[in-house]
Chains A and B, each alone.
Chain A
Amino acid sequence: MPRTSLSVDERWKLIDSISKQVVLRGKYKHTLKDVISDLSVRPMTGIPLALAVLFGFWAFFGAFAGFFTDGFAVPAFDDHFLPAIQRAFPGEGGPLYWIFVGDPGAPSCFEAFGVLTSGLFVAFGVVLPAIVAFYLVLTILEDTGYLPRLAVLVDTVFHKIGLHGFAIVPTILSLGCNVPAVAASRVLETKKQRFMMMSLLAVFIPCGAQIGVMEELLPEYVPAILAFLFFGYFVTGAVLSRLIPGRSPEILIDVPPYRSPIMKNVATKTWARVSGFIKMAVPAVLGGIVVVNLLYLLGVIDWLADALEPIFVVWFGVPAVTVGALVMAFLRKDMAVGMLGGMAAAGLLTTGELITSVVLVSIYFPCLATFIMLWKEGGVRDLLKSLAILTVSFFVFGGLMHGIVALAGV
């Protein structure tokens, strides 16, 4: 009998007979996975687990990046590559030498600041291991199903600043790279939430590359710096939520069951993210060093340092030489922090000044790639509003950091 000739009753009978064969009926029994899933989203148990996961994230990041950077890249670049290129590159002390090799007497790649020395070292020796570690753990957390649970857990906190739990996704992504994070702010419903998210990411969340360099320069102070930046993130978020008109609606989050990640999927996703990052970051790091070295050779940085010295010394408590790093920060923040590390190693900055400068680089203008992304996502008007928020935050939180460092006597 052709299927089209079935009456409505016959169809229902057919459905009944199929469902009797395939549907199991009974009382649902909680499994161990269900219990652990419930415990992951209850604040009393979920917050300690979130702490453990974030601690694990951080420990893995530090050990993995340290293994490649301190174990192999630093000795290879500083003991072998740097002396070799300092000897082999022609025209020592000339403009081309300064651009490509940097300081001929520099003892480490961090201090040399040439395209072929600091540029290659930071891009491949420091940033690449940090980014691989970050995206590997992020992908595992996504694929196990932990991230949506974290979103449920932090929903109440984010509601206080006019966002909701899913804001954790762009925030964590931003700790890898601000560019995909700004794109991911589309998960938020209203224009107000998207604008707030983009501005907060651009101002307060340092990218993985920058954290990797910070970890190399100031390992013992990185948690405190990140805590300060997150404090700024929430305080500014709370203020913006009250100032910006618009809605902050409730959401329903679909929480998938916990699953074992499939290694092939983890490898594919991690590689896609890392390769995207390499294509975008490496040319920017190398190009950025060329631009900053040219500005140094033309005397522009010295002129800016002289002009801005009163603000830097009085308000932020850092010497005017940090202007060069802030110019670099617009091109690459990781490289800017590396540049500050070189200044500290050369004795131009104390530890306290280095900490304040690192915070200034973090909350200063977003890097060029993020700047373009903000423009693309929000248009000129939103970009200008974000820049206004950034300027105010820069002076408020930069000054505050100066005060904290002075009080702590670092």
Chain B
Amino acid sequence: MMKFKLGSAYFAILGVITLAFGGLEVVTGLPGIEGLSTGALEIPPDLWRGIIIFFAGAFITAGAFKLRDIHGLGMSTFGSIMLWIIAGCDIFTRIMESIPNGAGGLNSLEGFLATYGPPYSPALFLLPFSLVIFYFIKEVEK
């Protein structure tokens, strides 16, 4: 019982943070506004990404308050899947960019590793935190 209460609080907070990041991406995606980059975090100026992450956050939050119920858990999982799609695209793009060196050959080891360094998009930051949903899926399935 206690772990579901903690889980609800966790996913409510994660959902709100996701929603806020989505909102920021929407704002930076508007014409005339530059993308933001602060150290390890980079908010790409992409309106569509922002809309998707915003809705992902809304769905994670909406499901968080009924996490014990399959419908609530389903809603949070649904939002997490949307987040995973965006994060998966970011990871795939980095992999594709890390291999060639731009002159038709393969990248050096330093160049290859540098591609995986910061800054990261909000979706990549939020990805590991959203994977906690698997624990609750297992718990509900029990």
Binding site for B on A (CB under 8 A): 29-32, 35-36, 38-39, 45, 48-49, 51-53, 55-56, 59-60, 62-64, 66-67, 70-72, 74-76, 79-80
Closest CB of chain A to B61's CB: distance in Å? 13
B74 contacts A71, C-beta separation under 8 Å: no
Within 8 A of A (CB), among B39-54: 48-49, 51-52
Bits for B59-100, please: 1 = Cβ < 8 Å to A, else 0: 100000000001101110110011001101100110011011
B85 contacts A36, C-beta separation under 8 Å: no
Question: Could you list 28 examples of A-B contacts with CB < 8 Å?
Answer: A29-B70, A35-B70, A35-B73, A35-B75, A36-B81, A45-B59, A48-B51, A48-B55, A48-B82, A49-B78, A51-B48, A52-B52, A55-B48, A55-B52, A55-B89, A56-B88, A56-B89, A59-B89, A63-B89, A63-B92, A63-B97, A71-B99, A71-B100, A71-B104, A72-B104, A75-B102, A79-B103, A80-B104
Partner of B82, one of A35, A49, A75: A49
The B contact surface, by secondary structure, is helix
Q: A30-B70, A36-B78 known; A67 and B96 CB under 8 Å? A: yes
- Nearest residue in B to A67 (C-beta to C-beta)? B96
Complexed CA–CA distance, A63 and B55 (Å): 24
Output the residue of A29, A30, A48 with the most chain B CB within 10 A. Answer: A48
Chain B residues within 8 Å of A71, by CB: 96, 99-100, 102, 104
B77 contacts A36, C-beta separation under 8 Å: yes
Complexed CA–CA distance, A70 and B97 (Å): 10
A32 contacts B96, C-beta separation under 8 Å: no
Complexed CA–CA distance, A402 and B81 (Å): 40
Chain A residues within 8 Å of B13, by CB: none
Chain B residues within 8 Å of A67, by CB: 96-97, 99-100
- Nearest residue in B to A76 (C-beta to C-beta)? B104
Q: Does B124 contact A (CB under 8 A)?
A: no
Q: Does B137 contact A (CB under 8 A)?
A: yes
Q: Does B24 contact A (CB under 8 A)?
A: no
Closest CB of chain A to B127's CB: distance in Å? 14
Chain B residues within 8 Å of A53, by CB: 85
Complexed CA–CA distance, A31 and B73 (Å): 10
Q: Does B56 contact A (CB under 8 A)?
A: yes
Chain B residues within 8 Å of A60, by CB: 89, 92
A39 contacts B75, C-beta separation under 8 Å: yes
Partner of B74, one of A35, A64, A72, A75: A35
Chain B residues within 8 Å of A48, by CB: 51-52, 55-56, 59, 82
